[in-house]
Protein backbone atom coordinates (compact mmCIF):
# COMPACT_ATOMS: atom_id res chain seq x y z
CA UNK A 1 0.00 0.00 0.00
CA UNK A 2 2.76 2.49 0.94
CA UNK A 3 4.62 1.81 -2.31
CA UNK A 4 1.46 2.56 -4.30
CA UNK A 5 0.93 5.79 -2.34
CA UNK A 6 4.56 6.76 -2.93
CA UNK A 7 4.22 6.18 -6.69
CA UNK A 8 0.90 8.05 -6.73
CA UNK A 9 2.60 11.04 -5.05
CA UNK A 10 5.46 10.99 -7.56
CA UNK A 11 2.88 11.02 -10.34
CA UNK A 12 1.17 14.05 -8.73
CA UNK A 13 4.51 15.91 -8.65
CA UNK A 14 4.27 16.16 -12.45
CA UNK A 15 0.57 17.04 -12.49
CA UNK A 16 -0.48 20.48 -13.83
CA UNK A 17 -1.96 21.18 -10.38
CA UNK A 18 1.11 19.85 -8.54
CA UNK A 19 1.31 22.80 -6.15
CA UNK A 20 -2.24 22.13 -4.95
CA UNK A 21 -1.45 18.44 -4.51
CA UNK A 22 1.72 19.36 -2.61
CA UNK A 23 -0.32 21.60 -0.33
CA UNK A 24 -2.94 18.93 0.32
CA UNK A 25 -0.40 16.22 1.04
CA UNK A 26 1.63 18.51 3.32
CA UNK A 27 -1.56 19.27 5.24
CA UNK A 28 -2.62 15.63 5.49
CA UNK A 29 0.85 14.37 6.48
CA UNK A 30 0.78 16.48 9.64
CA UNK A 31 -2.36 14.77 10.89
CA UNK A 32 -2.84 11.32 9.34
CA UNK A 33 -1.18 10.67 5.94
CA UNK A 34 1.78 8.23 6.09
CA UNK A 35 4.16 9.62 3.44
CA UNK A 36 6.03 12.92 3.86
CA UNK A 37 5.59 15.68 1.28
CA UNK A 38 9.31 15.57 0.51
CA UNK A 39 8.44 12.83 -2.02
CA UNK A 40 6.72 15.52 -4.11
CA UNK A 41 8.81 18.50 -3.01
CA UNK A 42 12.09 17.07 -4.33
CA UNK A 43 11.06 16.35 -7.94
CA UNK A 44 9.12 19.60 -8.12
CA UNK A 45 12.19 21.58 -7.00
CA UNK A 46 14.34 19.76 -9.54
CA UNK A 47 11.86 20.36 -12.36
CA UNK A 48 11.44 24.08 -11.58
CA UNK A 49 14.37 25.23 -9.41
CA UNK A 50 13.28 28.87 -9.70
CA UNK A 51 10.11 27.93 -7.76
CA UNK A 52 11.83 25.79 -5.11
CA UNK A 53 11.45 28.38 -2.33
CA UNK A 54 7.77 28.85 -3.21
CA UNK A 55 7.23 25.09 -2.95
CA UNK A 56 8.96 25.05 0.45
CA UNK A 57 6.70 27.88 1.61
CA UNK A 58 3.59 25.99 0.43
CA UNK A 59 4.79 22.87 2.28
CA UNK A 60 5.45 24.82 5.46
CA UNK A 61 2.14 26.69 5.60
CA UNK A 62 0.11 23.60 4.70
CA UNK A 63 1.99 21.43 7.17
CA UNK A 64 1.45 23.88 10.04
CA UNK A 65 -2.26 24.09 9.18
CA UNK A 66 -2.34 20.28 9.11
CA UNK A 67 -0.73 20.25 12.55
CA UNK A 68 -3.80 22.14 13.78
CA UNK A 69 -5.99 19.30 12.47
CA UNK A 70 -3.74 16.77 14.25
CA UNK A 71 -4.06 18.81 17.44
CA UNK A 72 -7.87 18.92 17.05
CA UNK A 73 -7.95 15.14 16.54
CA UNK A 74 -6.00 14.66 19.77
CA UNK A 75 -7.98 17.24 21.69
CA UNK A 76 -11.56 16.56 20.56
CA UNK A 77 -11.75 13.02 19.13
CA UNK A 78 -8.75 11.19 20.54
CA UNK A 79 -10.62 8.00 21.49
CA UNK A 80 -12.53 7.62 18.22
CA UNK A 81 -10.08 9.01 15.64
CA UNK A 82 -6.70 9.61 17.32
CA UNK A 83 -6.24 6.12 18.76
CA UNK A 84 -6.90 4.34 15.43
CA UNK A 85 -4.30 6.60 13.77
CA UNK A 86 -1.79 5.80 16.52
CA UNK A 87 -2.61 2.09 16.16
CA UNK A 88 -1.90 2.33 12.42
CA UNK A 89 1.59 3.64 13.24
CA UNK A 90 2.08 1.03 15.98
CA UNK A 91 2.67 3.49 18.84
CA UNK A 92 -0.34 2.97 21.13
CA UNK A 93 1.51 0.79 23.65
CA UNK A 94 4.18 3.42 24.26
CA UNK A 95 1.84 6.37 23.98
CA UNK A 96 0.70 6.54 27.62
CA UNK A 97 4.26 6.80 28.95
CA UNK A 98 5.14 9.22 26.19
CA UNK A 99 2.08 11.40 26.93
CA UNK A 100 2.94 11.65 30.65
CA UNK A 101 6.25 13.36 29.89
CA UNK A 102 5.29 15.05 26.64
CA UNK A 103 4.39 18.53 27.82
CA UNK A 104 7.53 18.96 29.92
CA UNK A 105 9.72 18.97 26.83
CA UNK A 106 6.99 18.99 24.20
CA UNK A 107 8.36 21.92 22.22
CA UNK A 108 11.67 20.03 21.76
CA UNK A 109 9.77 16.92 20.66
CA UNK A 110 7.72 18.96 18.19
CA UNK A 111 10.88 20.57 16.80
CA UNK A 112 12.60 17.21 16.36
CA UNK A 113 9.55 15.50 14.89
CA UNK A 114 8.90 18.42 12.55
CA UNK A 115 12.42 18.31 11.20
CA UNK A 116 13.18 14.58 11.20
CA UNK A 117 11.49 11.50 9.74
CA UNK A 118 9.61 10.89 13.03
CA UNK A 119 5.88 10.69 12.28
CA UNK A 120 4.80 14.31 12.79
CA UNK A 121 1.14 13.34 12.96
CA UNK A 122 1.80 11.30 16.13
CA UNK A 123 3.26 14.41 17.75
CA UNK A 124 0.44 16.73 16.69
CA UNK A 125 -2.17 14.27 17.98
CA UNK A 126 -0.19 13.90 21.22
CA UNK A 127 -0.05 17.68 21.58
CA UNK A 128 -3.84 17.84 21.41
CA UNK A 129 -4.51 14.86 23.63
CA UNK A 130 -2.18 16.13 26.37
CA UNK A 131 -3.40 19.72 26.15
CA UNK A 132 -0.11 21.26 25.06
CA UNK A 133 -0.59 25.02 24.69
CA UNK A 134 -1.51 25.57 21.05
CA UNK A 135 0.90 28.50 20.61
CA UNK A 136 3.83 26.20 21.51
CA UNK A 137 2.78 23.65 18.90
CA UNK A 138 2.36 26.35 16.25
CA UNK A 139 5.69 28.08 16.99
CA UNK A 140 7.65 24.80 17.08
CA UNK A 141 5.91 23.52 13.94
CA UNK A 142 6.69 26.73 12.03
CA UNK A 143 10.36 26.58 13.02
CA UNK A 144 10.84 22.89 12.36
CA UNK A 145 8.80 22.52 9.20
CA UNK A 146 10.20 25.65 7.55
CA UNK A 147 13.76 24.57 8.42
CA UNK A 148 13.17 21.14 6.94
CA UNK A 149 11.36 22.13 3.75
CA UNK A 150 13.48 25.19 2.98
CA UNK A 151 16.68 23.19 3.54
CA UNK A 152 15.55 20.58 1.02
CA UNK A 153 14.42 23.24 -1.46
CA UNK A 154 17.63 25.28 -1.20
CA UNK A 155 19.88 22.24 -1.56
CA UNK A 156 17.95 21.03 -4.60
CA UNK A 157 17.76 24.48 -6.15
CA UNK A 158 21.51 25.02 -6.01
CA UNK A 159 22.92 21.49 -6.22
CA UNK A 160 20.27 19.68 -8.28
CA UNK A 161 20.22 15.98 -9.11
CA UNK A 162 23.39 14.95 -7.20
CA UNK A 163 21.90 16.43 -4.02
CA UNK A 164 18.59 14.65 -4.63
CA UNK A 165 20.41 11.31 -4.91
CA UNK A 166 22.33 12.03 -1.71
CA UNK A 167 19.14 13.03 0.14
CA UNK A 168 17.31 9.93 -1.13
CA UNK A 169 20.11 7.69 0.14
CA UNK A 170 20.72 9.51 3.45
CA UNK A 171 17.43 11.23 4.26
CA UNK A 172 16.97 9.85 7.77
CA UNK A 173 20.60 10.51 8.71
CA UNK A 174 20.65 14.02 7.24
CA UNK A 175 17.39 15.21 8.78
CA UNK A 176 18.07 13.61 12.16
CA UNK A 177 21.55 15.16 12.37
CA UNK A 178 20.17 18.50 11.20
CA UNK A 179 17.33 18.29 13.71
CA UNK A 180 19.70 17.53 16.57
CA UNK A 181 21.91 20.47 15.59
CA UNK A 182 18.86 22.71 15.22
CA UNK A 183 17.39 21.82 18.63
CA UNK A 184 20.87 21.73 20.19
CA UNK A 185 21.28 25.36 19.20
CA UNK A 186 18.11 26.30 21.07
CA UNK A 187 19.15 24.30 24.12
CA UNK A 188 22.61 25.89 24.10
CA UNK A 189 21.10 29.37 23.88
CA UNK A 190 18.74 28.56 26.76
CA UNK A 191 21.60 27.50 29.05
CA UNK A 192 24.07 30.16 27.91
CA UNK A 193 21.70 33.11 28.36
How high is the pLDDT of residue 39? 83
pLDDT by residue (tens digit) across 145-163?
A: 999 899 889 988 888 777 6
The more confident residue out of 1 and 4 is 4
pLDDT by residue (tens digit) across 115-139?
A: 666 678 888 998 999 899 999 999 9
Rounded CA-CA distance 61/190 in Å is 27
Rounded CA-CA distance 87/75 in Å is 17
Q: Domain boundaries in the chain?
A: 2-192
CB 77 within 8 A of CB 108: no
Amino acid sequence: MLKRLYEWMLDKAGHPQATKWLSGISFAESSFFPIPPDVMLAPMCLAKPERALWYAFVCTVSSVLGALLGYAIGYFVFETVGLPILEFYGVTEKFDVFAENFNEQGWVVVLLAGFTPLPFKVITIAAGSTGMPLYILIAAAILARSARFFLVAILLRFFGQPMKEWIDNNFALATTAGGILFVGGFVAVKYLI
